[in-house]
Structure 1
């Protein structure tokens, strides 16, 4: 019962962070955005992220759905990419440094999560729920652009053949995709090597034909 009350309190406090009006972005720029920029209305093959070397790559046919579904897929890709970028940094940090505590947990990130006490796991889940609630409220606002929670697109110029916002999105998508592959590789090699730190794996040649 206490857990339910605590979770309800978190959701109530989270509402204070949710914009009450339509999502209009940051007012710092006078650049006028076309209405089509708030939704994916272009052909999927022309969307930001369809770039070399694969170009437009959709073997499963996910892009054949309506614009709303494409927006949801782009939203999910950006969210997963951002989470993966943080995960890679956190994984490597946990293996080598412990800035938030003075020992007590394993330096093996995969093992450390099993050593967190139930109270700590509860706090993690509550915080994730708080973020998801706030984000879901922002996403529901009219004029929302996938991945842009604070109106950052208004900070970029539309001048030139490719807008600064498109360039920024492309860089973030590339880094997010690389990070998703990166954290998958880190966790996989952690299991395959029995928890050997990533930097030690590199120095011992795990990635170049086995441990030497």
Structure 2
């Protein structure tokens, strides 16, 4: 169970990307000044002014893409990891209940063991099951990065909206019936102001969820490390395994080959999206 936290958020200004033959120029809208403006619209409870950026990430230039593209990348990373953390925290809570962790008439997977912690539930999933989950998540991630050229998609390092995930219903030869957001189409149309408030709420909830998820993992590994649970008489099930570890040793021949394949796929995906500068002719 892995979750990483990005450190900064921001929006808007202008940067003209070089024109590529056959493709229109892209206008960037991400600057450090806009990060400050965004923070003023979305104040936090922390007692400091401006953006919280202890590592100076808002001034970096990742992969030679430019500072504006870097800020777009960091904004997208925070929103994405916030979403993952919200799902992870709620999943941890659900998997700690007898309804999920208890006995089942039909076993959820081969080798299921009732009455164990959420981390142990993951440990008990067969390797082939874990690979299916990772491949599925990788397919969603690849599509969200523009694989398949979704209609209207603009990458977040090229002026696209951070946090945007293109509609996926009807993809994979029609096998995916729903979109990830509002899958049943029951939410009313929102105004621009309502969308902005919703984005701020998602960012803030994601930040809190990242803290919450790490707190339950820390408490399960080191009981008493988060005294707030004792204050509210909440018991986090202990776990003595390696939370950040792997079922197989990292030097396992299977994992070595898998990492190599994933690295090559990720590299070519980044080239396709323009995140890796191409060598001059």
Equivalents in 2 of 1:125, 1:201: separation in Å?
37
Q: 1:63·1:70 contact (CA, 8 Å) conserved in 2? A: yes
For 1:38-77, list aligned pairs within 5 A. 39-41=29-31, 43=33, 44-48=35-39, 51-54=43-46, 55=49, 56-65=51-60, 66-77=67-78
Give the TM-score normalised by the residue count of structure 1: 0.64
Q: CA RMSD in A?
A: 3.5
Aligned with 1:110 (options 116, 119, 122): 119
1:99, distance to aligned residue in structure 2 (A):
8.3
The structure showing larger relative contact order (alpha-carbon pairs under 8 Å, at least 6 residues apart) is 1
For 1:47-196, list aligned pairs within 5 A. 47-48=38-39, 51-54=43-46, 55=49, 56-65=51-60, 66-96=67-97, 97-98=99-100, 102=104, 104-105=112-113, 106-137=115-146, 138=153, 140=155, 144-150=160-166, 155-158=189-192, 163-193=193-223
Q: 2:85·2:213 contact (CA, 8 Å) conserved in 1? A: yes
- Cα distance change of structure 1 residues 100 and 85 upon mapping to structure 2, 3 Å threshold: farther
Q: 2:32·2:59 contact (CA, 8 Å) conserved in 1? A: no
Give the TM-score normalised by the residue count of structure 2: 0.49
Question: 5+ residue gaps in structure 1?
Answer: 1-34, 207-212
Task: Tell me the matched-pair count.
Answer: 163
